[in-house]
Amino acid sequence: MTPTELLLDRASCKSYTSEPLLPDEARLIVQAGQAAPSGMNRQPTAFLAVLDPAIRDRLSRLNAAVLQTKTDPFYGAPAVFAILADPSASTYLYDGSLAAGQMLLQANALGLGSCWIHRAREIFETEEGIAESDYKIKMQEMASKFEALSKYDLSTMQEPVNFIFKEEHAK
């Protein structure tokens, strides 16, 4: 697929298989976000990949509560990614959005469906959103510096692995 075809082929997916996403696929998707341009190359983003079904389900429940609904706001996707950005960077919202766009394109390049889902901020700002996370300590450390921008789900995952990425990415 050419770059133009990849860009024009990407669409939001709202129906997913239960096939798990492989950790290597998740890493490629996060690497695409890490490679996104940012204001003055600050790279103020960090990425949370949730591959564990139990944690994914808790995040879904918290997200549904924000919407005041009982339906799954992740449309059944077994994986969720959150983008966290340091609000002290004046371009954090744009930087996080660019990272999200590149991650959506990488998912498409891997043949995976994806959909940008808002409301990560509302989830991670609640006590329950942080306290129920298996990343309680890491999330509390990150929450003091990073603000949740967005989350989106992907169509497949394998072993339950969860990881936070914050790597220096200088070009």
Q: Decide: 46 and 124 in contact? Cβ < 8 Å.
A: no
Cα(104)–Cα(127) distance, integer angstroms: 29
Which tens digit of pLDDT belongs to each residue from 7-19? 888 888 888 888 8
pLDDT at 102: 95
Q: What's the pLDDT band for 152 if we cut at 50, 70, 90?
A: very low
Torsion-angle region of 77 (φ positive above 0: left; ψ -120 to 50: alpha; else: beta): beta
Share of the chain above pLDDT 90, in %: 23
Cα(121)–Cα(148) distance, integer angstroms: 5
Share of the chain above pLDDT 70, in %: 71
pLDDT at 158: 34
Which tens digit of pLDDT belongs to each residue from 63-81? 888 888 899 988 999 898 8
Alpha carbon 79 to its chain centroid, in Å, reads 9
pLDDT at 103: 95
pLDDT at 125: 67
Structure tokens at 87: 């609000």
Alpha carbon 89 to its chain centroid, in Å, reads 19
